[in-house]
A and B are shown apart, each in its own frame.
Chain A
Amino acid sequence: MKRKKKDFLFDTLVTLIASFLGIIIIFPLIYCFLSSFKTPSEFLNPKLLPSSFLYLDNFKNALERGNLLRYTLNSFIIAFIGTVVRMVLSILAAYAFTFYDFKGKNFFFFLILGTMMIPGDVLLVTNYLTVSKLHLLNTYLGVMIVSFVSASQMFMLRQRFKTIPKDMREASSMDGYGDLWFILKVLLPLSKPVVTTLFVQSFINLWNAYLWPLIVTASSPEMRTVMVGITRLNSWEDENYQLVMAGVCISLIPSIILFIIMRRNMKKGGLDGSLVG
């Protein structure tokens, strides 16, 4: 009994400390949220709470004057299509690496994994030159095209596919099903948790991208993504931070929702019943 009480006290203490630290960590987000309801004059007085949560002009201005509505749409198109293409390429490659034996398998595998060794920032300038030569500046494709290859995603998919018995592929091929059928009808349904997680992760990644969209859409303001857009809502001279904070809040909505979905998803997974024992 005594021990139980001691444990309870300890757990409560830890919970309190952890919650306190947690609030410090998410404080910037709390601050951002609260600030977005402030009027310009309120903002000059650096108190935490706004006087009213009904003051929505910041959001309205960000969306209309800051053109954030258009930018959000741009971001959505780029993140969605970019993710779909990326997933398709990774799935095809991971499938080949899992279910086929061929000459040079190791070479191609490391060729693709090797892309992880080279940070994207190093390639910024030369990729810009390539994309401008392809006349893809200020286009959606230009923003997406450099992120079509994701070695880590391919690797994760392969790890998942490897747990699926080769017998299943053989059984379906004996029944006359080709690669595409097997991928669509068996492999993907069986790998749903991993595929969803990777999809969400990739979407957040592309949604949050900043540098590359900034340079590719530099000369065409209406093609900007939302992450580029929010940084243009203020300037050093005119510090209308409340507007920026409203913009940031808008830009965070999809990524935070998806983040929560992903956390849920990562806890699920597994295949059982297909095999014995």
Chain B
Amino acid sequence: MGNNVKSLKKRRDNRRVFLLLLPITLFAIAFVYFPFIRTIINAFSKVNSKGVVKGFAGLENFIYTYSRKDFLPALRHTLTIALVNVPLTLVITLSLALLSEKKRKFSSVYETMFTLPMSVSMSASCMIFKSMFSPSVGFINYFFSLKLGWFESSDTALFSCIILTVWMGIGFDYLLMLSALRGIPKSVMEATKVDGISLPRRIFFVEIPLISPTIFYIFCTNLVLCMMTSAPMIIIMGVSAESSATNTLMSMMYQSGFSSSDYGLAAVLSLTAFVLTLLFTILSFMTERRRVHYEA
């Protein structure tokens, strides 16, 4: 008797849960997990130009990709962007957040200015920067009396892309830093005042350790974003063999997938970027426990 009763209510609940979860699960599988598995399969298969698998290829795609002469530069560019962008963004946003931590009379004005870049889309930012840094008619060369080629010279193109990606990331990361700083309990800050702890000591030994979970979070999300950079290359540089000065793994993937329909190559590049990102993330998580302070 008891068991029978139990299963009835359980069944009713389960039917409801099923209906509630079905849509999101369906889309998650169809447009995240299925394509992800398909990418893995494509990487190990012969794929024709229509995207149809024509048999097992073993490591052929990998060997072909890694031995291409534009692969190593693309990898190097990707890593350079991550290596420069991530620490730079952290320093800039942390400094801005520390500067504006205290609420002052006009703080909402500059807070808004610091966060505004987050509302600007990728393509809009790219177009603005392309115009602003234009060697001939751009404002930057004119104002600083420079003669740099910026995006149009292979020496400075990657550097220009980094400026652009840092700028795009400032708004959101600043906002996270600021709310973390303001979330520090007031009593802690008052204690440092009473104890007469100097400003630099307070910043480095109290505030930064206390917001380290946020810093770590920003570090990780930025890392992933940087590893996936492709838009500035596609929008500003255009995807062609000549634009190899800034090619990244993902822009190369885009080019091979949509310009040359080489789906095996595209899959290997996607997977490579993904695995590298995952590896970095896991490494960060392993150091996290030693470095990051979580409240008890």
Contact = CB atoms under 8 A, between A and B. Distances in A.
Interface in B29-46: 30-36, 38-39, 42
A179 to B, nearest CB: 6
Size band of the interface chain A makes with B: 35 or more
A15 interface: yes
Q: Which of A44, A209, A241 has the most CB of B within 10 A?
A: A241
B126 A92 contact: no
Contact of A230 (B42, B106, B115, B124): B124
Interface of B: 13-14, 16-17, 20-21, 23-25, 27-28, 30-36, 38-39, 42, 51, 96, 99-100, 102, 104-107, 109-110, 112-132, 134, 136-139, 141-143, 167, 170, 224, 227-228, 230-231, 234-235, 238, 250, 253-254, 257-258, 263, 266-267, 270-271, 273-274, 277-278
A198 interface: no
Given A26-B113, A154-B24, A251-B121, 14 more contacts: A11-B102, A21-B96, A89-B24, A92-B23, A96-B20, A108-B21, A149-B31, A208-B120, A241-B131, A244-B131, A252-B119, A252-B121, A259-B118, A260-B112
A227 interface: yes
A126 B266 CA distance: 10
Interface of A: 11, 14-15, 17-19, 21-23, 25-26, 28-29, 31-32, 35, 43-44, 46-48, 88-90, 92-93, 95-96, 100-103, 108, 111-112, 114-115, 117-119, 121-130, 145-146, 148-149, 151, 154, 179, 204, 207-211, 215, 218, 227-228, 230-231, 236, 239, 241, 244-245, 247-248, 251-252, 255-256, 258-260, 263
B131 A255 contact: no
A2 B258 CA distance: 68
A125 B266 contact: yes
B25 A108 contact: yes
A255 B274 contact: no
Contacts of B127: 230-231, 244-245, 247-248
Nearest to B171: A25
Contacts of B134: 239, 241
Contact of A123 (B21, B23, B31, B278): B31
B28 A17 contact: no
Given A123-B36, A259-B119, A14 B99 contact: yes
B129 A236 contact: no
A249 B270 CA distance: 34
| Most interface-central of A21, A126, A148 (chain B CB within 10 A) | A126
Nearest to A45: B137
A148 B123 contact: no
A252 B24 contact: no
Contacts of A19: 106, 109-110, 113
A40 to B, nearest CB: 10
